[in-house]
Amino acid sequence: MIWYPYAIQKNLIPPIKIIRGEGEYLIDENGEKYIDAVSSWWTSIHGHNHPQIIEAIKSQLDHLDHVMLAGFTHTPAEVLAGKLVELTENKFTRVYYSDNGSCANEIAIKIAHQFFKNQNLDSKVEILHFSKSYHGDTIGAMSVGGDSYFTGVYREILFPSPEFISPDCYECPYQKNPKTCNLECLENLKEYIDKYHEKVFSIILEPLVQGANGMVMYKEEVLDEIILLCKQKDILVIFDEVFTGFGRTGKFFAYQNLKNTPDIICLAKGLTGGTLPLAATLISDEIYQKFYSEDPIHAFYHGHTMTGNPPACAAALASLNLMENENRLKEVESLNLAFNRLKDDLGIQYNSLIKNIRVLGAIFAFDLLEETQIDRLKNYCLSKKVVIRPLGTAVYLCPPYTITESNLNHIISTLKEGLNLLLE
Ligand SMILES: Cc1ncc(COP(=O)(O)O)c(C=O)c1O
**Digit-coded pLDDT (tens) for 384-423:** 999 999 999 999 999 999 999 999 999 999 999 999 999 9
Q: What is the mean pLDDT of residues 63-82?
A: 98
Separation of CA 179 and ligand 1 centre (Å) = 32
Q: Is 269 noted as a catalytic residue in this protein?
A: yes
Rounding to the nearest 10 degrees, give the CA dihedral for residues 391, 245, 327, 310: -110
Cα separation, 292 vs 289, whole angstroms: 5
Q: Which atom of ligand 1 is nearest to the CA of 210?
A: 1
At residue 257, the pLDDT reads 98
User: What was the pLDDT predicted at 228?
Assistant: 98
Is residue 339 in contact with ligand 1, taking CB distance under 6 Å? no
Q: Report which residue type is found at 137.
A: D
Burial class (CB in 10 A: 0-12, 13-18, 19+), 45: buried
Banded model confidence at residue 349, pLDDT cuts 50, 70, 90 = confident
Within the chain, all domains assigned CATH 3.90.1150.10 are found at: 328-423
Residue nearest to atom 8 of ligand 1 (CA): 101
Mean pLDDT is lowest, of 101-105, 175-179, 366-370, 400-404, for 175-179
CB-CB contact of 328 with 335 (8 Å): no
Does 132 sit in the ligand 1 pocket, CB within 6 Å?
no
Of 81-85, 172-176, 243-247, 248-252, the poorest mean pLDDT is in 172-176
Name the segment(s) of the chain with CATH classification 3.40.640.10.
55-325
CA 24 to CA 46: how far, in whole Å? 8
Task: Please identify which of the residues 25, 134, 255, 350 carries the catalytic annotation.
Answer: 134
Cα(111) to centroid(ligand 1), Å? 19
Ligand 1 pocket test, candidate residues 42, 102, 249, most atoms within 8 A of CB: 102
CA of 109 to the centre of ligand 1 (A): 15
Give the distance (Å) from ligand 1 centre to CA of residue 272: 14
* Confidence at 274, pLDDT banded by 50, 70, 90: very high
CA distance 117 to 298: 8
What pLDDT, on the 0 to 100 scale, is given for residue 96? 98
Q: Is 374 in the pocket of ligand 1 (CB under 6 A)?
A: no
Q: Is the CB of 102 under 6 A from ligand 1?
A: yes
Q: Is 212 in the pocket of ligand 1 (CB under 6 A)?
A: yes
Would you say residue 424 has pLDDT above 90? no
d(CA 158, CA 139) in angstroms, rounded, equals: 6
Considering the candidates 36, 168, 240, 263, report the single residue annotated as catalytic: 240
Mean pLDDT of the chain: 97
In this predicted structure, what is the pLDDT of residue 191?
Answer: 98
**Which distant-in-sequence residues (6+ apart) come within 8 Å of 381 by Cβ?**
37, 387, 388, 414, 415, 418
Q: Is 58 designated active site? A: no
Percent of the chain with pLDDT over 70: 100
Q: Which CATH architecture has domain 55-325?
A: 3-Layer(aba) Sandwich (3.40)
206 lines ligand 1 (CB under 6 A): yes
pLDDT of residue 26: 98
Q: Which atom of ligand 1 is nearest to the CA of 42?
A: 14
- Say if strands 25-28 and 33-36 run parallel, antiparallel, or are unpaired: antiparallel
Ligand 1 nearest atom to the CA of residue 41, by list position: 14
CB distance 279 to 100 below 8 Å: yes
Nearest alpha carbon to residue 328 among 217, 249, 406, 238: 249
Nearest CA to 400 out of 346, 331, 341 is that of 331
Residues contacting residue 248 through CB under 8 Å, at least 6 positions apart: 42, 45, 254, 270, 332, 361, 362, 363, 398
Q: Indicate whether 178 pLDDT > 90.
A: no
Distance, in Å, from the CA atom of 185 to the CA atom of 224, rounded to the nearest integer, reads 14
Class of domain 328-423: alpha beta
Best residue among 100, 106, 242 to mutate for probing ligand 1's pocket (most ligand atoms within 8 Å of CB) is 242
Residue nearest to atom 7 of ligand 1 (CA): 101
* Tens of pLDDT, residues 99-136: 999 999 999 999 999 999 999 999 999 999 999 999 99
Is the distance from the beta carbon of residue 129 to the nearest atom of ligand 1 less than 6 Å? no
pLDDT in tens, 134-171: 999 999 999 999 988 889 999 999 999 999 999 999 99
Q: Which residues contact 94 (CB under 8 A, 6 or more apart)?
A: 81, 85, 282, 283, 285, 287, 288
pLDDT category at 179 given cuts 50, 70, 90 is: confident
The DSSP bridge pattern shows strands 25-28 and 18-22 to be antiparallel
Longest dimension (CA), the chain: 71
- Among residues 261, 403, 384, which one has the least CA distance to residue 339? 403
**Ligand 1 centroid from CA 136, angstroms:** 5
- Given the residues 168, 218, 269, 401, the one annotated as active site: 269
